[in-house]
């Protein structure tokens, strides 16, 4: 599994637009581009940090060439319009070494 972490820098006054568009864009990336989903976080300083999972690095690299539906592309544009793209950045690109995240109880 391949993981990418982003820091999104939102323009002043655009937080609501960003927060409305982000889940829709993430859903489109999942449905059309092959991601395994993503989580959006806020750090203690208020920065938006996203953690995105991909089945492998190749799927992630090829995703930028894949168009989503018109509706998802419109949401993507709204999200991009809400961002300071010069300051928004990729923080990490990583391979999963050991995966021990679980959504259910551990078997003991």
pTM, to two decimals: 0.88
Q: List domains and CATH numbers for the chain.
A: 2-95 (3.30.70.100)
Q: Tell me: the pLDDT tens digits for 78-101? A: 999 999 999 999 999 999 999 888
Name the E strands within the chain: 2-8, 37-42, 48-54, 89-95
Is pLDDT of 105 > 80? no
Is pLDDT of 50 > 80? yes
Q: Are 48 and 10 in contact (CB under 8 A)?
A: yes
What is the predicted pLDDT for the residue at 102?
Answer: 73
Average pLDDT over residues 9-13: 97
What is the predicted pLDDT for the residue at 106?
Answer: 58
């Amino acid at each position: 599994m391949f993981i990418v972490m982003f820091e999104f820098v939102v323009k002043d006054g655009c937080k609501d637009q960003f927060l409305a568009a982000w889940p829709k864009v993430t859903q489109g990336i999942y449905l059309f581009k092959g991601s395994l989903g993503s989580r959006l976080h806020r750090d203690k300083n208020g920065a938006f940090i996203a953690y995105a999972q991909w089945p492998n690095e190749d799927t992630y690299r090829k995703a930028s060439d894949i168009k989503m539906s018109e509706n998802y592309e419109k949401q993507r544009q709204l999200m991009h319009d809400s961002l300071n793209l010069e300051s928004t950045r990729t923080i990490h690109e990583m391979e999963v070494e050991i995966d021990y995240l679980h959504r259910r109880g551990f078997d003991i």
